[in-house]
Structure 1
Amino acid sequence: MPEGHALHRLARRQQQQFGGQRLQVSSPQGRFGPEAALLDGLVFRAADAWGKHLIYTFGGPEPDPDEAGSRPARTAAPRLVHIHLGIYGAFTEEDLPMPEPTGQVRLRMVGDTMGLDLRGPNACELYTPHDLEALIGRLGPDPLRADADPGRAQAAIARSRRPIGSLLMDQKVIAGVGNIYRAEVLFRAGIDPLRPGTSVTGAEFEEIWADLLALMPVGVEHGRIHVIRPEHDHGAPAYAPDRPRTYVYRRAGEPCRVCGAPIAWRELEGRNLFWCPGCQK
């Protein structure tokens, strides 16, 4: 599943691609058909991200003035679209003219110079302002948003006995952090992921939060997670071709880049957890 930086990067790119354009919107697969018909011909106003969620804002088409030209143009109330890619969701971009849809295309958007197909999302649905308010209300602060309040996350962690490794993956605690950032920021802070949240000090939380503020924008800018400090950026390659070099993520049994201890692995709340027993005591 894409982590938060990938969604923010998508939102920024799609805003650049479609912002201010009147789009052709359809659902070749049909599952989003009635909703797409309501969006077809509307102006794409904004793409935004909260954690792992994308929100599109479509403005209404402005009707032409009457024959006398005395009636001012009015814009219809905006419509919102909520997209959650989940594990299998993905976008593909196409130059115009777009080819005939292939596969299960849930949403197709065509602008002035290019088009976009969405396949396999966990959610693609119309939202009301109340729906968006409820979504934001149940998400933790997003380190990539200027309006994030880290105090909410710190308070949630401080009152929970769940492992800090679980809490960082809980979107109700911090929005946008996935398995890679979870594993790597805990390593960089020297924190055992199995420690209960109640044991994490204020200073330790501040270090985690500051690290997320430093690392996640790099992912947005470059489309690639980078977590290795310069003095450790050598030696063993990344865990797979065209993947980021990591300290612990997907390196079970390999020597730690810092202390040489074998990287440990276990399952925690249904997700793979990686850490260094030597550095994260």
Structure 2
Amino acid sequence: MPEGHSVHRIARQFERNFVGQRVVVTSPQGRFSDGAALLNNLELEEAWAVGKQLFMRFSGDHWLRVHLGIYGAWDFSGTIHADATIASANGRMGQTNQRGTVFDAAGENSLSSIGAPRKTRMRMAEEQHESELEQTTQFPPEPIGAVRVRLLTETVCADLRGPTACEVLTAEQVDAVLARLGPDPQRDSSDEAGQKFVDAVVKKNTPIGLLLMDQSVVAGIGNVYRAEMLFRAHIDPYRPGKKITTDEAWGLWRDWIYLLDIGVQTGQMMTIDGLEGEAWRKAMANRADRHWVYKREGLPCLKCGTHIRLDEMANRKLYWCPSCQT
């Protein structure tokens, strides 16, 4: 499932390419026809994310809410201006990373397809030069597969496939959704937001490995960040929230601020610190080289050598080191 950093990057794509323009909204698949009719030819006025949910406000105070879930993804085509963290569409990073972009082999930091992995026309064309794309890509492209909703301007097209939720809401309904979500440091990294997270953790008897995945406790953390944050904090994922100290809870909150910002800036969930040169490039290109425990079951811990365990917690895979995290 796409985690919080991906959805923030999607929101930035819409900010850069769609906000301020009238948008043609259709549902090629037909399942969103009524919602598309409400939004069609309205101006997109803002786009932002909270956790794993994307909110877009159209003129007339109509809101589009999208939750990608496990299978959802947005595919962008046309003249794409890179999101606000990147200097230009050729992938040269801005001031947050002067070493240049290294594209992940699985397309995790793609600018043209964000969400669940899939081989799309745009993703397959990523290594082509811009001039080649212009010569070979029809605009707007014919819809591929079950496109729930298409947003189209004169220059950019965004296709949504496979979301868990895609609906038009009123402002009051948006507020109701937001009230059920925990804090997201990309929206609010204040001490007040942090205190809300800490209070939610330390009062519960629920294992911390479940609390971090509870979107009402903290918004945006998924399976990867859960495993990596707990390893970085040396915390047993089965320890109840009530037995997490206040200092430990604040440490988790600050680490989430730090890791989420890296994810938004680079498009990748980089959780190993201090990598330089070839080690950094290798980690940016291959997920296996940028995580401590995630997907490393049966392999020796990179710190202590103990074999990484793979358990199941609430029907989700849990990766952890039984030696470091005690």
Spell out the pairing of 1:24-35 with structure 2 (5 A cutoff): 24-35=24-35
Separation of aligned partners in 1, 2:173 and 2:189: 19
1:47-196 matches, within 5 Å, as 47-59=47-59, 77-95=60-78, 97-146=139-188, 149-196=193-240
- Give the match's secondary structure for 1:249: coil
- Aligned-partner Cα distance in 1 for 2:220–2:287: 22
Moved over 2 A (4+): 231-235, 240-244
SS at 1:250 equivalent: coil
Larger Rg: 1
User: Quick check: 1:11–1:48 contact (8 Å CA) kept in 2?
Assistant: yes
Deviating more after overlay: 92-101 vs 105-114: 92-101
Q: C-alpha offsets along residues 104-148 of structure 1, whole Å, 9 cap, x if unaligned?
A: 111011113111111111111001112111111111111221266
How far apart, CA to CA, are the structure 1 residues paired with 2:273 and 2:261? 16
1:262 maps to which of 307, 312, 315: 307
Taking a change above 3 Å as real, the CA distance of residues 242 and 160 of structure 1, as seen in their structure-2 partners, is closer
Cα pair distance change 1:218/1:181, threshold 3 Å: same
Q: Which residue of 293, 297, 304 corresponds with 1:252?
A: 297
Q: Secondary structure at the match of 2:49?
A: strand
Q: TM-score, normalised by structure 1?
A: 0.88
Contact 2:293 / 2:308 at 8 angstroms: preserved in 1?
A: yes
Question: Is the Cα–Cα contact under 8 Å of residues 288 and 295 in structure 2 kept in the other structure?
Answer: no
Check the 8 A contact 1:4/1:51 in 2, yes or no: yes
Separation (CA, whole Å) in 1 of partners of 2:62 and 2:263: 29
CA distance in 2, matches of 1:261, 1:125: 47
Report the aligned-residue RMSD: 2.0
> Residue 41 of structure 2 aligns with which residue?
41
- Corresponding residue of 2:267: 223
Which structure 1 residue ranges, 5 or more long, are not aligned?
A: 60-76
How many matched pairs? 262
1: CA distance, partners of 2:223 / 2:13? 24
- Structure 2 residues without counterparts, runs of 5 or longer: 79-137
Counterpart in the other structure of 1:276? 321
Q: CA deviation at 1:97?
A: 2.3
Q: Which amino acid aligns with 1:78?
A: D
Relative distance call for 1:244 and 1:217 in structure 2 (3 A) is farther
- Matched-pair contact (CA < 8 Å) for 1:21–1:112: no
Partners of 1:231 and 1:114 lie apart in 2 by 36
Residue 101 of structure 1 and its aligned partner are, at CA, apart by 1.7
Q: State the identity as a percent.
A: 46
Contact 2:270 2:290 in 1 (8 A): yes
Q: Which amino acid aligns with 1:270?
A: N
Name the SS for the 1:23 alignment partner. Answer: strand
TM-score (norm 2): 0.76
Q: Secondary structure at the match of 1:185?
A: helix
